[in-house]
Amino acid sequence: MADPNAPLQAHIDAVAPPGTAAYLALLFCPGAGRQAVGALLALSHELDALGGKNPETAAFRLNWWAEELERLGNGRPSHPITRELLACGLNDERAMGRLSDRFVAASSDVAGTTHADLEALEAHLERGHGATQWLVARALDSDPDDFPGYAADLGVALGLCRTLATAPRDGAAGRVPLPAALLEAHGVTLTELKGNTGSTPLRALAERLAERIDDRLDRAGHALPVAERPRQRAGLVLGALHRRVAHRLTTEPPDRWLATLQLGGPAALWTAWRTARRAARGKL
């Protein structure tokens, strides 16, 4: 768990080192909401990381965050991340409901819950990552309930990309976050997933999920009203960068997938700049 005594910027820097999608999203985020968005990305990272911890550590940290979210709801948070959420009003009933959804999804990951099929996995990601994107939109002075499909589809796309990119690492550790039915439908064996083998079935699976990520991102973009796009540059940049990652995963060997998730380089900066510029003009 990140040091609760460290300043907020230290937590943001830890999740958004230069060149990453989070860093570039914050770089082009409207200044008034940048700290709040950074805090939300840091919180999501903290919860995502729990799935890779040993059960005792994960349970301890999960319990600590449960108590901290309760303190946030009562207006007395102790962590820099949650203090920032309090400062920008993300502790009202609707926001706390979304934070609860994000926490429940993280708890499911820690418990090693498996999903029957792709639709069940997407429902899980919508509850977790979709909730984070709802909160990001809210932190940027929008009411995301006015365009509900945006946060849901964006969150699913980002979650699918992360789930795919981390699948070989998780498989090697004995965790299989992808639905067995999805693996079977593409002829991917657990041995291939755990062994990081760049097999034809594994590539076909990556291509299938890249198509699904494309579809979700297209839907998110169309759900976002033109007038909201300048405010929501951070989410649109995240989406554009994860679209790039998803397509790179179809050509990279699996042992490079986790590194691919980190992006970096002038191409990522160009994608982020172009997306932010178009969003500022109200374009997709």
Domain extents in the chain:
18-280
Amino acid making up residue 270 = W
Q: Which pLDDT score is estimated for 5?
A: 53
Mind listing the pLDDT tens digit of every residue in the chain (284 residues)?
555 557 999 999 999 999 999 999 999 998 889 999 999 999 999 999 887 778 888 889 999 999 999 999 999 999 999 999 999 999 999 999 999 999 999 999 988 888 999 999 999 999 999 999 999 999 999 999 999 899 999 999 999 999 999 988 888 877 878 998 999 999 888 777 766 566 788 889 999 999 999 999 999 999 999 999 999 999 999 999 999 999 999 998 888 898 888 877 899 999 999 999 999 998 77
Do residues 202 and 138 make contact, with C-beta atoms less than 8 angstroms apart?
Answer: no
CATH of region 18-280: 1.10.600.10
Q: pTM to 2 decimals?
A: 0.94
Contact partners, residue 223, CB within 8 Å, separation at least 6: 147, 148, 149, 150, 153
Q: Which pLDDT score is estimated for 2?
A: 52
As given in the structure block, the two tokens for residue 16 are 């958004």
Do residues 226 and 257 make contact, with C-beta atoms less than 8 angstroms apart?
Answer: no
- CA pseudo-torsion sign 236, 241, 243, 246: negative
Q: Which pLDDT score is estimated for 32?
A: 86
Q: Which pLDDT score is estimated for 195?
A: 63
Q: Which pLDDT score is estimated for 112?
A: 85
Q: Which pLDDT score is estimated for 214?
A: 98
